A and B are shown apart, each in its own frame.
Chain A
Amino acid sequence: MMKSQRINVLQHLPFLRGILKSRLFQPVLTISTLFFFTLAIVTGLFGTPVGNRNFGIVFVWIVWWGLLIMLLVPFLGRLWCAACPIPVPGEWLQRRGIINRRQGRLSTMRWKFPKRLRNMWLQNFGFLGIAIFSAIILTRPEVSAWLLLGFSLIGIVLSVLYENRVFCRYVCPVGGFIGLYSLMAPVEVRVSDPQVCATHTPKDCIIGNEYAYGCPWMVFPGTLERNTYCGMCMECIKACPKNNVVINLRPVGSDLMVAKERRLDEAYKAFIMLACALLYSVVLLGPWGWLKQWANMDTLPHWLTYAGVFLLANLLLLPGLFTLTTLLSRRLGGVQLPLRQLVTDYAYTLVPLGLTAWIAFSFSLVFTNGSYALAVLSDPFGWGWNLFGTTESVWAPFGSSLIPFLQTGILTAGMLFAVNTAYKIAGQHTPDPRRALRGMLPVAGFITSITFVFLWLYLG
């Protein structure tokens, strides 16, 4: 992507640099979300077990989820990770403080995180492990609360053992897909001039200085080319003595074309997220009540069957079909690259498709159930409170007639973007535009077919 296609936001909005350089920036975000996070856990543990009347369920799985997948990730990438309350207790323990930059190294046991786990596989399997219980987690406040509490405790333990945000980078099941889908975001934290970083030996952004900690995400901004592992905490902006770190506006999906950093673990994340969007649409939005019951663990054999099919679809079926598609693509395009590389490369076409599929899924979920938020605002525990006079507000689906149009629109946009991405990726494999076109055709067919399955599910 051409550098000229970037707009340096900090240049146009200089006051923003002041805000981001302030050590208050991230604590204000995290302390605010910590309030809601704590409330979600307490209401989950002690409030009504009725999901739609419990703050923990409604605000986490409807309000937060809707904000995350429909607004934050598509428009602001990983900014949520800067505000996420889950890892902050661990991080505060490491730093022995909340706001100020304490000098000296982080307080941890300084273990080294295993090299073979420094990828997205833990996040992939973690996400799947949670996904097979999702029907239960999304409806049982207590289970949901223990899950959130568990995340936070894991975050604390990992912060005690390892330096920096190992939990966010390698473990958090949510962080994995946020990272992948933030490739699409029109916002990035990058250096203005990589040459400045190359010649600046102190590397304050890595080791930190009196103003900021070294990158908690273990990323060197000087060579950063993708959003995937940048948590947008803005420590590098604070740390950089050259004011070389900036925030850019850029074309959507720019990172998809960064060929050298594509990896199989990320490709699998794309498969898993797309398959999960498809399966969630079938189970949670579909008309098959028995399937909901199976997912809800009505009997153990039913759930085991459901979980088995779920895992099979995620780990074998969809990746297998995509591999066959890629095989065909290699043959048609006459490309001699290894199949593994081709599968990995083309899997990034599923990033726009997957993101828009999740947004389409969330239109139904959020618009239909969003009105529950009013009641739980006034009565978060379901104990009969009426804090803001909205307890008796009735469930009222919003924009029911609009949802199919929005779903069709976003899925079509995602499909077109994905097909275009497939063509560009094919172009990276061969300089011949005709061969690139032939090579991308099977992938385009796969993308179109999946889109039609989604449309069939949503529109009947």
Chain B
Amino acid sequence: MKRELLAICIVVLILFGLPVGAFIYQRQQTSSDSTKRVIIIQAAVPEAGGFQPSAIKVNAGETVTLRFSSVDVTHGIAIGPGLGIDLGHVDPGHVKEVTLTFDQAGTYTFYCNTWCSPDHWRMRGIVEVTDPNNPDAIPTAYHDPIIERLVAEGVNIDANVTMGMADHPQPDVLTFDQPPSIEKGNILAASLAIPSELEDADWQLSHTPTEGLTLLKEMNPATPIGDLTNVIAYLWASATPSEDIQWAESYYNQNCAACHGQTGDGNGPASDQTAESPVAFADFTYMFGVRSDVLYAKIRRGGMGTDMPNFGTLLTPEETLKLVEYLWQLAWQSGDG
């Protein structure tokens, strides 16, 4: 009778104890100590629901572990803005986690940075960090001086340039005998008179290379236009430190190249799935008529009706500017072979 009872106990333990034990163990795994909360986030393609949960709340100063797993395809997990967290690829069924402490109240975004589906760019979730001492505080509105200046200027940053709408006054279309070269421009710049505006980063930000060319030509009327465009290319590309360009190149390749192409030719593998053709940054003719602050605004706000997602919730303004600088590198790359 004893062994019968023992057998019944073992069977009951298996049928009920095993599942209950598994869940208790999992619970312990996710809350092993009170100071470290584990939040499990399942990643699926946006068509299947994206991140679950897609919104999580933590207190400022609280240490949390975000544990990501993929339930379908390989995703890439990053968290921004300004955190510099990139967990890399998370393969189906695998788990990756990051433990972090959010110091200040605010909103952060976790997102997929590996092309996973046609709606990949929708794959985002938010971490809402609240101040435990003032949990009901309404966050102060974020001011972006660059975008506010554009709005004040009357630039329509939501205009769709690929549909023929001008987002800012367009200069005359230039014709080029050959692509502008940063290297040649670097050599030539020493022998030309450079207007002070062109060496002012703030001026450059809010003006097109064509406008810069006009000023340069006024001071150097005898210089052939081809040489002047080389100098403009040099001036538009020279300000950014190389490590920032490296970071921006990596970010661009992960997050932008799928549509815009790794070389910026606007012909990435997903370019035929977007509502409008992605902009070709490698088209220097087009880029001569583009302002950096407009590029900045497009990146941060996204392109209305084009399928260009907003990156303002993923990148800090500084990171966005680095990305803009990299776009200029793409614009001039053909001139230097």
Contacts and interface: CB of A to CB of B under 8 A. Distances in A.
A384 B95 contact: yes
A31 B10 contact: yes
A98 B18 contact: no
A42 B18 contact: yes
B93 A98 contact: no
B11 interface: yes
Nearest to A100: B4
Interface in A30-48: 31, 34-35, 38-39, 42, 46, 48
B95 A98 contact: no
A94 interface: no
B11 A34 contact: yes
A42 B14 CA distance: 11
A52 B93 contact: yes
A383 B42 CA distance: 10
A193 B9 CA distance: 41
Contacts of B165: none
A35 B69 contact: no
Interface string B19-40: 1001101100100000000001
A107 to B, nearest CB: 16
Interface string B238-278: 00000000000000000000000000000000000000000
A384 B3 contact: no
A54 B93 CA distance: 8
Contact of A98 (B7, B40, B69, B72): B7
A35 B4 contact: no
Q: Do most interface residues of chain A lie in helix, strand or loop, or is the interface mixed?
A: loop
A182 B90 CA distance: 44
Contacts of B95: 379, 382-384
A120 B214 CA distance: 90
Nearest to B44: A49
B8 interface: yes
A259 interface: no
A53 interface: yes
Contacts of A42: 18-19, 22
Contacts of B29: 383-385
Interface of A: 24, 27, 31, 34-35, 38-39, 42, 46, 48-50, 52-54, 92, 97-100, 379-385
A100 B8 CA distance: 11
Nearest to A372: B93
11 contacts: A34-B15, A35-B18, A42-B18, A50-B93, A52-B93, A100-B1, A100-B4, A381-B22, A383-B95, A384-B67, A384-B97
Nearest to B1: A100
Contacts of B97: 384
A98 B11 contact: yes
A162 B3 CA distance: 27
Nearest to B15: A38
Give the size category of B's interface with A. 20 to 34
Please name the 3 residue pairs, one residue from A and one from B, whose CB atoms are nearest each other, closest first.
A53-B93, A50-B93, A384-B95
B92 A98 contact: no
Contacts of A381: 22, 26
A379 B25 CA distance: 12
B57 interface: no
Q: Do most interface residues of chain B lie in helix, strand or loop, or is the interface mixed?
A: helix
Contact of A48 (B18, B67, B93): B93
Contact of A382 (B7, B8, B72, B93): B93
Contacts of A31: 7, 10-11, 14
B71 interface: yes
Given A34-B14, A383-B95, A48 B4 contact: no
B18 A38 contact: yes
Contacts of A35: 14, 18
Nearest to A34: B14
Contacts of A98: 4, 7-8, 11
Given A31-B7, A98-B4, A48 B14 contact: no
A34 B67 CA distance: 31
A39 B18 contact: yes
B94 interface: yes
B99 to A, nearest CB: 13
Nearest to A39: B18
Contacts of B18: 35, 38-39, 42
A24 B22 CA distance: 28
A37 to B, nearest CB: 9
B70 interface: yes
Given A24-B3, A54-B93, A385-B29, A38 B14 contact: yes
Contacts of A54: 93
A382 B26 CA distance: 11
B45 to A, nearest CB: 13
Nearest to B6: A99
A234 to B, nearest CB: 17
B22 A48 contact: no
Contacts of A49: 71-72
Contact of B72 (A24, A38, A50): A50
Contacts of B71: 48-50
A69 B290 CA distance: 68
Nearest to A391: B95
Contacts of A38: 14-15, 18-19
Given A98-B4, A99-B4, A99-B7, A383 B15 contact: no
A264 to B, nearest CB: 40
A285 B176 CA distance: 56
Contacts of A100: 1, 3-4
Nearest to A92: B11
A58 B8 CA distance: 28
Nearest to A88: B11
Contact of A53 (B10, B26, B67, B92): B92
Contacts of A53: 92-94
Contact of A50 (B26, B40, B70): B70
Contacts of B1: 100
Contacts of A39: 18
Nearest to A24: B3
Nearest to A49: B71
A378 to B, nearest CB: 12
